[in-house]
Amino acid sequence: MDQKKTWSSSLLFIMACVGSAVGLGNLWKFPYIAYENGGGAFVLVYLLCIVVMGLPILLAELIIGREARSNAFEAVSKLSGGKHFWKLLSFLCLFSPFILLSFYSVIAGWSLDYFYNAITGNLTHLTFETTGPHFGAFVSNPTKQISYHTIIMLLTAGVIMKGVKGIEKAIEVLMPFFGIIILTLSVITLSKYGAGKTLNFLFEFDFSKLTTKGILEALGHAFFTLSIGLGAMIIYGAYFPKEHSIIRAGIWITVLDTLVAFCACIMIYPIIFGTGMEVKESASILFTTLSVELHHLPGGQYVCALFYLLVAFAALSSTLSLLELVTSYVEDRFKLSRLKGTMLSTFIIWLFGICSALSNGGNEFFTSLKVMDRLDYILSNWSLPIGAFLISLFCGWVLSEEIKSRELGLKRDDPRYIIFNFLIRYAAPALMMVIFVSQLVN
């Protein structure tokens, strides 16, 4: 890897990581899984997972990346001295982003279509009865699905082609707009519906609603939302200059990501509760019921367009880190130029992504295989948690104390260092083991 590649400032680095972390997971997945799992108790477990496992593993990835200064695949073998066992982790840092980007780009494409149709007034005629069938017809239209998937992949590739500087430029545009849009929309929904019911739902702890499946989902989502367990923070950390603080960056990323997830609930739940609408298909609510309800707000058509633009921006800032992970590997491994490396990785992921694009009714074979659902399941429930588990073991037991304390900028007897080391060595892996085993037993 070109040693000169670095972020221009700590702020841009944090913005890029927040961009990676904040995505469809916050806007689409968190509200619906929190809803399905009954709110409060689930949210508490989720927050615990974020603090006890998420943040330490995020820091671990940044440490690994900055120490190795290479693509995620090589970083692990470099720091492990090439030991065979850790090849599994290297492999996951390639496999998981590949799989995730292939279907993430399809869903990101949906937001582009909804943005376009909202702004041109093509969604105004939708009602609660017709919005489901409209969405169904859209996702089963092969031409549209492949076209939008292609647009997202091309937009992402256009940025990644230019390397770290490209990501910085994109992030400088996407993130401020994202901030403005999410604040505007939160204020609009809050002033119409208030936040009372949402906060009650999110912070009323009724543990009878919590299942083991829910706990595993909370864990998987904590990793998914922070973009950990597949090396995204390793590769972004690899470009982070030595003089900046990893801890400060890690805390900002975690706090902002969590705030956005709550903002999403504040935007979406009042609409669900306030209108007493029935949530039949909570997974697709973002593109069905919500599109109708947003039209009922003042300036409806434009609010709706703004909302889907928000989703598109969030998704795009995440796809950047995924393609960067694969491209940096392909570039180094096959000694290709950045341009060729980007083209090759984009093409392969795009091609594989077609299976997901056609799996919602676009093609009988891929639909019967439920490609997109299966990939999401494998990723969120298995490959991310296993990746995160291995990263915590790797950082806890393989990296020397000297490396960790130097990278964190903390003395070994500093209480913060001791807490970090305890979490990453014992608490995180042990808790994950308990959750895995209880899942298998169940």
72 binds ligand PHE (CB under 6 A): no
Per CB under 6 A, 383 contacts ligand PHE: no
Cβ proximity of 35 and 282 under 8 Å: yes
Count the Cβ atoms, other than its own, within 10 Å of residue 124.
13
Instruction: Name the residue nearer to ligand PHE (CB basis): 23 or 38.
Output: 23
Tokens of 40: 């409060």
For residues 325, 330, 332, 334, the Cα torsion angle rounded to the nearest 10 degrees is 170
Measured CA to CA, the distance from residue 358 to residue 57 in angstroms comes to: 35
Q: Cβ closer to ligand PHE: 100 or 292? A: 100
**Cα–Cα distance between 61 and 394 in angstroms, integer?**
10
Burial of residue 442 (number of CB atoms within 10 Å: 0-12, 13-18, 19+): exposed
**CA 169/CA 81 separation, integer angstroms:** 36
Nearer to ligand PHE, 262 or 417 (CB): 262
Q: Count of H helices and E strands in the chain?
A: 23, 0
Nearest residue (CB) to ligand PHE, 95 versus 224 = 224
Which C-beta is closer to ligand PHE: that of 21 or that of 126? 21
37: contact with ligand PHE by CB under 6 A: no
Residue choice 7, 19, 26, 304 for contact with ligand PHE (CB under 6 A): 26
Distance from C-alpha of 69 to C-alpha of 71, rounded to nearest angstrom: 7
Q: Is 23 in the site for ligand PHE (CB under 6 A)?
A: yes
Residue window 345-364: x/- pattern of binding to ligand PHE, with contact defined by CB under 6 A = --------------------
Q: Cα torsion for 282, 219, 266, 120, to the nearest 10°?
A: -50
Q: How far is the CB of 86 from ligand PHE (least distance, A)?
A: 20
Compute the least distance from the CB of residue 394 to ligand PHE, in Å: 18
Which of 322, 395, 408, 431 binds ligand PHE (CB under 6 A)? It is 322
- Within 10 angstroms of residue 401's Cβ, the number of other Cβ atoms is 10
Burial 256-275 (b: 16+ CB within 10 A, else e): bbbebbbbbbbbbbbbbbbe
In angstroms, the CA 414 to CA 129 distance is 60
Rule CB under 6 A: say whether 230 interacts with ligand PHE: yes
Phi, psi of 43 (to 5 degrees): -60, -40
Q: Which is nearer to ligand PHE, 139 or 235 (CB)?
A: 235
**Does 321 sit near ligand PHE (CB under 6 A)?**
yes
Report which residue type is found at 87: K
Question: Residue 126 or residue 372: which is nearer to ligand PHE going by CB?
Answer: 372
Binding status of residue 189 toward ligand PHE by CB under 6 A: no
Does position 117 interact with ligand PHE (CB under 6 A)? The reply is no
The stretch near ligand PHE (CB under 6 A) out of 74-82, 174-182, 317-325, 398-406 is 317-325
**225 near ligand PHE, judged by CB under 6 A:** yes
| Candidate list 232, 349, 357, 410; residue touching ligand PHE; CB under 6 A | 232
Residue 288 makes contact with ligand PHE by CB under 6 A: no
Whether 116 and 363 have beta carbons less than 8 Å apart is answered as no
312 binds ligand PHE (CB under 6 A): no
| C-alpha–C-alpha distance, residues 429 and 433, integer Å | 6
- Position 429 contacts ligand PHE (CB under 6 A): no
The nearer residue to ligand PHE, 119 or 251, going by C-beta atoms, is: 251
The yes or no reply on residue 220 touching ligand PHE (CB under 6 A) is no
Note whether 380 binds ligand PHE by CB under 6 A: no
- How far is Cα 36 from Cα 16, in angstroms, rounded to an integer? 31
Residues engaged in binding ligand PHE (CB under 6 A)? 20-21, 23-26, 100, 224-225, 227, 230, 232, 318, 321-322
